[in-house]
A and B are shown apart, each in its own frame.
Chain A
């Protein structure tokens, strides 16, 4: 591997934050969709919360991506070939395919939030409802979940499919790691919103808890596996501030402590207390760990 490969100079506050927020949005969406798909009505509240989270968060991400471009006003070249005027996709470039996946995911989260708003009686009727109301909710939940997994994971493939030593040495695990992190941070976001809306009495919660625990185990195995796989090329992740972010922030605060603290539903309060104590702190730690995972991996590949 060639240490003289150039660094892209992606800013962590744009690119890593996009990786993080996109992951939370996608995770919240596919958790909600899968919960309802596999568990039925029992998990309707989780699915509802997921769709309330996914759309506003994914709306935040295009400005972050566009701000990091050298020529922000040309962002549309990602979708339309500037010379021919036809839609453009490059299947060899995860960045190109990902732009389309992000568009598709945005559309599906938009349909889902409209659907949820109508079901909750917050909207009398959705705009253009006639155009898509015949499509069962499950269909766009399936398409949206697949797009969601893509949005959560392709950002890891972007890093892995480069020639920078750290990113190339961690290939092919970062995509899967980001999906697992998207799941655990998405679950934390769903928990926070449900807690805030005092909906923690939902009968689907035990299943939700099991899924959250499993996703953290998968994330832990992938995070450690990635470091082992990278061997000596993992050096940027083992020292300095990046090491503190990854081992202290992501692994300890974001995975191990929330796992050890057990499930964070405040059962004593019967689930009626909004944003109660320790449970909320744990959910916030999971989100912090997810953000630091993206920042540390984006920065570790850009150490000169």
Chain B
């Protein structure tokens, strides 16, 4: 029975308790600062600190497994405004690009459907990082291995929910069986539609084979930084391989016409001169 989370962004208040709970339960350190010399300020400035928003991490990383995104929408004359929040994490895809790409078997799926990185197996080849269509997985400079949300693997295998869902004060993040969560999500969506939120939609039913962590958005997924046409990279592997084999065959054919016996002898010199 796959476990997952339903993130109802319509009732998220952007309190970031989930970010804190995630850090605490998983013992995650603060994000290391990356400094670059700023020619205007004439001193090194941390380039990965946002400083322009309540969004304090900007993205998911090896030490930030949850990221509350703040989206400010103003009309042209600023008479109308909307502030959207969405708490993002690993989606634990049923067709997971990172798991498919892993050359060592370090990334596995557990009996509860969550995608888990075995830290003692990962070699830090980094191939899973660009293979995730959502930009979730990242390398830790400290351990030399990749890290991401585990769906609180230790908690859920001991009958608890995820730390972020446990702490969420509005019920925006709920943990449970994916089938039950989907039923709740559909009810909530129907309710919002009745209230006039015509743009509301569920994100994650069909993407990447279905996401075990899925969302209710009040606007297009792109507004929330989520890709709208998700292609799990390995879906393209057969065509990519076939084109490469075709390239090899073309080079082989070039070798055949160039090196074969016919065309040898005196006429060869003539051919080569043109």
**A interface residue numbers (CB < 8 A to B):** 1-2, 4-10, 30-31, 34-35, 37-40, 42-43, 68-71, 74-75, 77-78, 81-83, 88, 90, 92-96, 99, 149, 153-154, 156-158, 160-164, 167-168, 171-173, 175-177, 179-180, 183, 203-204, 206-211, 214-215, 218, 222, 263, 301
Chain A, Cβ-Cβ closest to B139:
A70
CA distance A94 to B243 in the complex (A): 14
* A49 CB to nearest B CB, Å: 14
Q: Is the CB of A5 within 8 A of B135?
A: yes
A70 and B126 in contact, given A173-B243, A207-B259 (Cβ under 8 angstroms) = yes
Q: Is the CB of B258 within 8 A of A157?
A: no
Most chain-B CB neighbours within 10 Å: which of A31, A77, A81, A215? A77
9 nearest CB pairs, A to B = A70-B124, A176-B247, A175-B244, A70-B144, A96-B103, A211-B258, A172-B243, A2-B227, A39-B259
Q: Is the CB of A177 within 8 A of B123?
A: no
CA distance A156 to B97 in the complex (A): 18
Which residues B46-92 have CB closer than 8 A to chain A? 59
Interface of A is mostly: helix
Q: Is the CB of A161 within 8 A of B236?
A: yes
Q: Is the CB of A38 within 8 A of B247?
A: no
A6 and B132 in contact, given A95-B101, A206-B269, A218-B251 (Cβ under 8 angstroms) = yes
CA distance A157 to B121 in the complex (A): 24
> For A38, what are the chain B residues with a Cβ–Cβ distance below 8 Å?
255-256, 258-260
* B106 CB to nearest A CB, Å: 7
> For A5, what are the chain B residues with a Cβ–Cβ distance below 8 Å?
130, 132-135
A6 and B272 in contact, given A42-B264, A168-B231, A176-B250 (Cβ under 8 angstroms) = no
Q: Is the CB of A218 within 8 A of B250?
A: yes
CA distance A60 to B17 in the complex (A): 50
- Give the residue of A70, A94, A163, A209 whose beta carbon is less than 8 angstroms from that of B123: A70
Q: Is the CB of B59 within 8 A of A4?
A: yes
Q: Is the CB of B237 within 8 A of A92?
A: yes
> For B226, what are the chain A residues with a Cβ–Cβ distance below 8 Å?
2
What are 6 inter-chain pairs, A to B, with CB distance below 8 A?
A: A1-B227, A30-B251, A38-B260, A78-B125, A157-B237, A218-B251
Q: Is the CB of A7 within 8 A of B130?
A: yes
A164 and B145 in contact, given A78-B104, A172-B239, A206-B268 (Cβ under 8 angstroms) = no
Question: B122: CB under 8 A from chain A?
Answer: yes
CA distance A142 to B123 in the complex (A): 33
> For B40, what are the chain A residues with a Cβ–Cβ distance below 8 Å?
none
CA distance A301 to B126 in the complex (A): 14
Q: Is the CB of A153 within 8 A of B248?
A: yes
> For B246, what are the chain A residues with a Cβ–Cβ distance below 8 Å?
176
Q: Is the CB of A4 within 8 A of B135?
A: yes
> For A92, what are the chain B residues with a Cβ–Cβ distance below 8 Å?
100-101, 234, 237
A71 and B259 in contact, given A92-B100, A160-B240, A218-B250 (Cβ under 8 angstroms) = no
> For B243, what are the chain A residues with a Cβ–Cβ distance below 8 Å?
172-173, 175-176
> For A2, what are the chain B residues with a Cβ–Cβ distance below 8 Å?
133-135, 226-227
Question: B242: CB under 8 A from chain A?
Answer: yes
Most chain-B CB neighbours within 10 Å: which of A75, A99, A161, A173? A161
A210 and B258 in contact, given A163-B233, A172-B242 (Cβ under 8 angstroms) = yes
